[in-house]
Each structure stands twice: as structure tokens, then as C-alpha cells.
Structure 1
Amino acid sequence: MASGNNEAVSLESLSAQQLTQVKKQLDEELEHLTSSFTQLHAAQSKFRECLRCVQGSGASTLQEHKSILVPLTNSLYVRGNLTSASHVVVDVGTGFYVEKDIKSAAQFYENKVGEVGGSIKELEAIVQGKSNNLRVVEEILRQKLAAPPPQAPSP
């Protein structure tokens, strides 16, 4: 473990109260990282779904001027007409949309799935390391709490 000024500190030298604080901090970090991990998986699933939709919308299945339902939210759709069967509008982030041909859109989503997958792997390694640190801290804390208090020297 390292303190704020990058000095190494032996966990055995910390008091039970200090170890409890370290454990609390590790618990909070793990909770945050786990939440981020869940969000990354959700984003990857959305990109995969977009990729599936783009790949499934080849020119053979779509016809120009065909009536379609356009999603405004997860539960609100409006009727619209398809103006181009070979181009789609892609959300590239932070509210920006770009018109792309089907092949470019598929490549965009494949890249996004790969990028998020890499981030998930990196985060898995970090979570694993934090979990190991937490187990070590918990074990040392258990030993400190189970050990009898030190005896004061006799005069």
C-alpha cells in the first residue's frame, strides 16, 4: 500500500482503525469500478445491437420511401419514410450524428465494440488487483482483531 506521498507503508504496522479506513476506501473504489464495469458492458451491448441492426439492414431488405417507425426514445416511435436504403445516421457521441453508408457504419460499430472490450479487459485487471488488496487488508485486520491486546510492561 502507498500513502499520499508515495511512501510504502507496511499493512502490519497500521492500527486496526487505520486498516478499517483502508478497507472502507478499497470497498468504495471497488463499488465504483464495478459500477463502471456494468456500464461498459451495457455500452458494449448497445454497440453490438447497433452493429446487428446495421448489418441486418442490407439494401436487399430495405426499400426507399418505405414507411417505417423511427424511435425517439425507448418507448416512443413516430412514423417516417426511408429516404435512402444505403445510408444510415450514426450517433458518434455527445449528441452528434453523422450520415454513413452501411459498410462504414458497420465498421464504426465494430471498432466501438472492440474499444469497449479492451476497456473492459483493463478494468477487469484493475478490479482483480483491488479485490486482492481488499482480501489482504481484511485478513490482516482479522488477525489484528483476533490477537490479544499487548500487555503493558510491569514496573
Structure 2
Amino acid sequence: MDAETLSPQQLHAIKGQLEEELEKLTTSFAQLRHARTKYMASRTALEDLEARDVLVPLTASVYVPGRLIEPNKVMVEIGTGYFVEKTRDGGKEFCERKMKMLRENMDKVSNYINQRRKTLDLVVQTLQKKIKEQQAGTN
């Protein structure tokens, strides 16, 4: 659609919609980045899983000492509360796949955010131009 053919009221409504959409997309991007960071931390933890003595979390702030019987076997959450047993290398590979998928999704969302920002800039410029034209016409 050509922004020049729209009224200032229509442009203002579109501007509001674009701003709301950008806010949601930015939030989604931050959530993807947070999930990727968690997978990176999990992969790092798997790489450092040599020690047999570990601290086991009971709550977010309470840990108890524990001992790994088989440090080469790990449980990996594959989603919605389902776990599978994998080797350490299998767990690292799983984290790598998830991080790659999240990176690809982040790239897609980032590109879409950039497109929406450009569209918003165009709408704002056109709206400002139309408002100036209206003010010039009333003077």
C-alpha cells in the first residue's frame, strides 16, 4: 500500500500497530536470546562434567553435595517435561542443534524487526509530511 494515499488518521493507526508489533517482536527476540544462553550454559556444564563430586540443586538457592556414578550419562529435557538419557557428547550435540536452531530463528526475527522499523520510519515520515501540509493549508 502507498502511504501517501492514506489520511493522517490512518497513518497514525498504522504507526500504533507497527509500534506494538515491534515491541512484541523485540520481546520474542529477547526470549530467543535467553533460551540460547541457557543452552550455551548447559553445553559448557556438560564439557566440565569431569568431576564426580557435584552440588545438586534442591531449590534456586539450596544445594547439597552429590556424587556422579556415571558422568558420561546425562538426562536431557527434550521438551514439555520429557527427558531422554544421552551420553555427554550426545547432550552437547543436542545443545548445539538447539543453539543453531535458535540462532536461525533469531536471525529471522531480527530481519523482520529491521523491515518493520523501516516501514515504521516511512509511516512516521509520511505522517509528519501530511501534518505539515495540513498546517500549511490552514494558515
TM-score (norm 1): 0.81
Counterpart CA distance in 1 for 2:90 and 2:34 is 23
Output aligned runs, 1:1-155, within 5 Å: 9-57=1-49, 61-63=50-52, 66=53, 68-148=54-134, 150=137
TM-align CA RMSD:
1.6
The residue identity in structure 1 corresponding to 2:91 is A
Shift of 1:73: 4.2
Shift >4 Å, 4+ stretches? none
Shift of 1:12: 1.1
- Residue segments in structure 1 that go unaligned for 5+ positions in a row: 1-8
Q: Which has the higher helix share?
A: 2
- Residue segments in structure 2 that go unaligned for 5+ positions in a row: none
Counterpart CA distance in 2 for 1:131 and 1:113 is 26
Greater Cα offset, 96-105 or 128-137 = 96-105
Give me the identity figure in percent: 34
User: Which has the larger Rg?
Assistant: 1
TM-score (norm 2): 0.90
Any idea what the Cα deviations from partners look like across 1:3-56, whole Å, max 9, x if unmatched?
Answer: xxxxxx321111111100000000000000000000001001000010011112
Q: How many residues align?
A: 137
